[in-house]
Amino acid sequence: MDWFLRLRSVPTGSVVAEDFARWLNASDAHRNAWKKANQTWQLMGEVQPDYEHLWRPGGNSRRRSRRLPWGAGIGAALVAGLFLLLAMPSLLLRLQADHLTQTAELQTIVLEDGSTVELGAASAIKTSFTAEGRAVTLLAGEAFFDVRSDATRPFKVEAGGVEVSVIGTAFDVSLSETQTTVQLARGVVGLSFGSEPGSAIRLAPGEMATVSHADGVMTRSTIAQEDIASWRSGRLFVSNVSIGEVAEALQRYHTAWISIPDGALAAQRVTGLYDLKNPDRALGALVEPYGGKVHHISSYFRVLAPF
pLDDT at residue 18 in the model? 79
Q: Which fold is adopted by the domain 98-225? A: Jelly Rolls (2.60.120)
Listed residue (299, 261, 289) closest to 2, CA to CA: 261
How far is residue 167's CA from residue 162's CA, in Å, rounded to a whole number?
17
pLDDT at residue 21 in the model? 83
CATH 3.55.50.30 domain locations along the chain: 234-307
How far is residue 204's CA from residue 202's CA, in Å, rounded to a whole number?
7
How far is residue 34's CA from residue 36's CA, in Å, rounded to a whole number?
5
- Reported as a single tens digit per residue, the pLDDT across 278-291 is 999 999 999 999 99
Q: Is 57 exposed, middle or buried (0-12, 13-18, 19+ CB in 10 A)?
A: exposed
pLDDT at residue 9 in the model? 54
Query: Given CA atoms 79, 85, 91, 93 in this order, what sign does their dihedral have?
Result: negative
Residue 183 amino acid letter: Q
pTM above 0.75, yes or no: no
Q: Which fold is adopted by the domain 234-307? A: Phage tail protein beta-alpha-beta fold (3.55.50)
In the predicted model, what is the mean pLDDT of residues 198-206?
A: 88
Helices (H), the chain: 2-8, 15-24, 28-43, 61-64, 71-96, 243-251, 263-267, 279-287
Mean pLDDT across the chain: 83
CATH 2.60.120.1440 domain locations along the chain: 98-225
- Reported as a single tens digit per residue, the pLDDT across 58-103 is 444 444 444 444 444 555 555 555 555 555 556 678 788 999 999 9
